[in-house]
Amino acid sequence: MDLDFRIVLKEVDESYPASLKPEEIAVYIAEKKARAFDENITDEIVLTADTIVCIDDQILGKPETTEHAIEMLQLLSGKMHRVITGVCLFYKHRYHSFYDVSEVFFSKLTDEEITGYVNKYQPLDKAGSYGIQERIGLIGIERINGSYTNVVGLPTEKLYKELMTLVETRYFAS
């Protein structure tokens, strides 16, 4: 996107109220991450995001163990799921949040394909136990309805449009 940026990591509790809908969960956690910067940032735009995977109203976050990752991928195998990314832009104590949703259709994966992926890649830091840009995406995704970059973890097309709208409305003005 030709934007200068730096990455700053902060530990944030990613729990959420059980009453939230999937889209609300992703935005809630993205905003929670942005609030972690409230005291430290004065003149920079902070962008935070959170991606969740949702299948049949079940939220699949990051797996806790290798076995849990295998179970998640077996659940996704041969089915459609939604990938939802919540994004929060934070500037001068103002928050602007949005989300994007993509439908991802997995082909039926063999147990060998799933365990091979889990053993070679790092699924424990990925919602739904997979990265679409890795082997599982190359062999297991039949199609996507929506944004590929959203499935990667940041819907850059929508982010760009939101940033341009905020610039046009002088949201970032002093």
Residue tagged active-site, from 13, 50, 56, 111: 50
- Three-state DSSP at 74 gives helix
Decide if 120 contacts 52 (C-beta within 8 A): no
Q: What are phi and psi of 136, to 5 degrees?
A: -60, -35
Q: Which of 42, 43, 25, 21 is nearest to 33 (CA)?
A: 25
Q: Respond yes or no: is residue 50 known to be catalytic.
A: yes
CA angle 115-59-142, nearest 5°? 55
Contacts of 35 (CB under 8 A, 6+ apart): none
Q: Which of 74, 82, 24 is nearest to 54 (CA)?
A: 82
Report the DSSP pairing between strands 58-60 and 46-55. Answer: antiparallel
Q: Which residues are catalytic, by number? A: 50
